[in-house]
Amino acid sequence: QTLSVSFSCMQSTNTRPSFGIAFDIDGVILRGRVPIGGSPLALRRLYDESGSLKIPFLFLTNGGGIPEPKRALELSELLGVNILPSQVVQGHSPFRNLLGRYENKLILAVGKGEPALVLTEYGFKKVLTLDEYASYFEGIDPVSEYKKWTTVPVVGRNDNFKNLVPTCDVFTERVKAAFVVSDPVDWGRDIQVLCDVLRSGGLPGTTNGHQPPLYFAADDLEYQAAFPVERLGMGAFRIALENVFNRVHHTPLQYIAFGKPKPIVFKNAESLLRQLHSSRHLNHVHHEDFASHSFRALYMVGDNPSVDIKGARQAGHPWISVLTRTGVFHGKENHEEFPADLVVDTVEEAVDYILTKEC
């Protein structure tokens, strides 16, 4: 898929817009799978009549559970514009930077959707979902017989997994790291099995091992989904796991959480927006040209003050925070603890403001 970018929102004929936009997804663009706040129309304004991208923008979400190219297709269908994989940054996207450490090591993928597929597409070779892993250990979940839902069969997830089976003996090989890729589905079982893995040093049933690293894609306490009131997010699961783990184990849980509001997420988004900005001239742009480009303004449009707005505020110049009322935040005035630079009702209003100001 090639990117056709014709920047027509320009200060003069030969300059391209010196601003970009990062959109949060849940509570700004979608609720569940339903577009909100006039998002399809708002995004359409960022393309020209031929459907080419006019303004550099991307999605910066703490959600995930499916590979970025697949999410880009799904978003394109839901929103009616052509979204590229490079325009989708999910909470787990930075996990690919850990490939050097775990490429051929046994790791666990936790969460809804296709967490193991996400990691195998990043290049990790020995990935088991927690469902798959738990299914090897009879009785590891003492209440499983009361669960009415079906579970993924041990063999048959994909070719990658089939190749893995003969080379991996889960009863002798220790898990080297656990990745919480997306919101966990079966909290009780996941807390049980993660405690087993982490307190044993990577092999349930053994004792006294060193805790393998634990990575969370994000740490949102709550987020806006389809239900009218916020839902518990990955951060809530982290608190539950940490509390239980710290009661059953002698040393506190060690973990690393990625995602907004971490400053590195905004640095990375800035660099991706710079690449989108330069992409029209990718073949003949000088490296200095790309590296030295600096945006006058980058807008973060989000619904969660303690995640999106806090993150943009911490990131500082050139980030400008825009808070919508379509998700976690519903206040009349600005948020007290993390006030945004601008508060609007919807993403449509946000885009209208940005285009009026910048073009």
* Closer residue to Mg ion in complex, CB, 129/304: 304
- Kindly write down the DSSP assignment for every residue of 158-198, as one continuous string: -HHHHHHHHH--TTTSPP-EEEE-S--S-HHHHHHHHHHHH
Residue 346 is classified by DSSP as S
* Binds Mg ion (CB under 5 A): choice among 26, 132, 183, 190: 26
Residue with Cβ nearer ligand G3P (190 or 220) = 220
The bridge status of strand 231-232 relative to strand 222-223 is: antiparallel
Q: Does position 37 bind ligand G3P by CB under 6 A?
A: no
Q: Taking CB within 5 to 8 Å according to partner kind, which of Mg ion, ligand G3P, none is near residue 342? A: none
Q: How far is the CB of 326 from ligand G3P (least distance, A)?
A: 11
DSSP H or E stretch at residue 258: none
Report the distance separating Cα 45 and Cα 68, nearest Å. 23
**What are 107's strand-pairing partners?**
127, 177
Residue 129 interacting partner from ligand G3P, Mg ion, none (CB closer than 5 to 8 Å by kind): none
Q: For residue 120, state whether it binds ligand G3P (rule: CB under 6 A).
A: no
Terminal CA-CA length for the chain: 28
Count, residues near ligand G3P per rule CB under 6 A: 14
The one-character DSSP state at 233 is: -
Q: Which C-beta is closer to ligand G3P: that of 73 or that of 221?
A: 221
Number of residues binding to Mg ion, judged by CB under 5 A: 5
**343 phi, psi to nearest 5 deg:** -115, 130
Residue from 5, 17, 23, 27 binding Mg ion (CB under 5 A): 27
Nearer to ligand G3P, 61 or 192 (CB): 61
Residue 220, binding choice from Mg ion, ligand G3P, none, Cβ under 5 to 8 Å by partner class: ligand G3P
Instruction: Confirm if 127 and 109 have CB atoms less than 8 A apart.
Output: yes
- 220 lies in the binding site for ligand G3P (CB under 6 A): yes
Q: Which does 39 bind (CB under 5 to 8 A by kind): Mg ion, ligand G3P, none?
A: none
* CB 128 within 8 Å of CB 174: no
In this chain, which of 63, 94, 113, 212 binds ligand G3P, going by CB under 6 A?
A: 63
Residue 312 in the binding site for ligand G3P (CB under 6 A): no
Q: Is residue 111 a contact point for ligand G3P (CB under 6 A)? A: no
Rounded to a whole number of angstroms, the minimum distance from the CB of residue 78 to ligand G3P is 13
Q: CB atoms < 10 A from the CB of 39, how many?
A: 25
Buried b or exposed e, range 297-307, using 16+ CB within 10 angstroms:
bbbbbbbbbbb
The footprint of ligand G3P (CB under 6 A) covers: 24-27, 61-63, 183, 218, 220, 223, 233-234, 304
The footprint of Mg ion (CB under 5 A) covers: 24, 26-27, 303-304
